[in-house]
């Protein structure tokens, strides 16, 4: 079911392995068997009414153990880099958002005028993947105002393509994107 149970489909989340692919049956089994948060909720739902009705002296332990397991998951999700609960850590899986909204601004494609004249035809030596990376770096550098990031990317591309220019790193990277769009469309 593409890493989604009925509940995950409603919440628009899904399970993937740590490399982003489909989790294996073994991974899903481990993840399902180590369900500390679910065990906690189920145990509390069952034990609180039963303990209250019977005057059970073990009530503290019936609540403390599941609550401890739940707290362990909460701490792990908030303290680990990948925000994984215990079952996910042992199964090497991640929970991700299944629906991501993308727009044309997230791609390298730009509207270029028909009379545009490319400045750096060498840009066609780069791959689509290179251009997507360049666009991502440029967007990040602009958002953070990180001149060094743009400068490092600009220098690396200039060296690779053997380009000499006095343009600022931001201008150079933007022109490369325009040139690539124009040349790849024509």
Whether residues 146 and 122 fall in one domain: yes
Q: What is the pLDDT of residue 81?
A: 85
Domain assignment present for 1: no
Q: What is the pLDDT of residue 68?
A: 79
Q: What is the pLDDT of residue 39?
A: 67
Domain assignment present for 16: yes
Whether residues 152 and 169 fall in one domain: yes
Whether residues 71 and 148 fall in one domain: no
Domain assignment present for 143: yes
pTM, full prediction: 0.46
Q: What is the pLDDT of residue 62?
A: 65
Q: What is the pLDDT of residue 104?
A: 44
**Structure token digits, residue 124:** 């066609």
Give the 3-state secondary structure of residue 28: helix
Domain assignment present for 71: yes
Query: What span, in angstroms and rounded, lies between the C-alpha atoms of 73 and 165?
Result: 54
Domain assignment present for 34: yes
Query: What span, in angstroms and rounded, lies between the C-alpha atoms of 50 and 38?
Result: 19
Return the H-helix or E-strand segment holding 125: none
DSSP 29-65: HHHHH--HHHHHHHHHHHHHHHHHHHT-TTHHHHHHH
Whether residues 175 and 141 fall in one domain: yes
Whether residues 112 and 156 fall in one domain: yes
Q: What is the pLDDT of residue 108?
A: 62
Residue carrying the six token digits 């393509």: 161
Whether residues 108 and 149 fall in one domain: yes
Q: What is the pLDDT of residue 144?
A: 86
Residues of the chain below pLDDT 50: 102, 104
Instruction: Answer yes or no: are the C-beta atoms of 91 and 68 closer than 8 Å.
Output: no
**Structure token digits, residue 141:** 């550098």
Spell out the alpha helix ranges (H) of the chain: 6-11, 25-33, 36-54, 59-79, 86-91, 128-144, 147-161, 169-185
Q: What is the pLDDT of residue 129?
A: 85
Give the 3-state secondary structure of residue 97: strand
Q: Supply the range of the domain harboring residue 45.
A: 6-97
């Amino acid at each position: 079911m593409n890493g989604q149970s009925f509940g995950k489909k409603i919440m628009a989340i899904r399970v993937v392995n740590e490399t982003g692919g489909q989790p294996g049956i073994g991974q899903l089994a481990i993840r399902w068997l180590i369900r500390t948060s679910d065990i906690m909720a189920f145990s509390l739902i069952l034990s609180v009414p039963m303990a209250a009705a019977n005057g059970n002296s073990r009530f503290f332990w019936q609540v403390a153990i599941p609550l401890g397991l739940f707290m362990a998951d909460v701490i792990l999700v908030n303290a680990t880099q990948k925000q994984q609960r215990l079952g996910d850590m042992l199964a090497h899986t991640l929970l991700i958002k299944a629906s991501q909204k993308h727009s044309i601004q997230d791609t390298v494609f730009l509207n270029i005028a028909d009379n545009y004249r490319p400045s750096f035809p060498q840009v066609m030596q780069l791959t689509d993947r290179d251009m997507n990376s360049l666009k991502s770096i440029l967007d990040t550098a602009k958002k953070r105002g990180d001149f060094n990031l743009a400068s490092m990317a600009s220098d690396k591309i200039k060296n690779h393509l053997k380009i000499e220019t006095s343009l600022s790193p931001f201008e150079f990277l933007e022109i490369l994107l325009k040139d690539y769009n124009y040349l790849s469309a024509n």
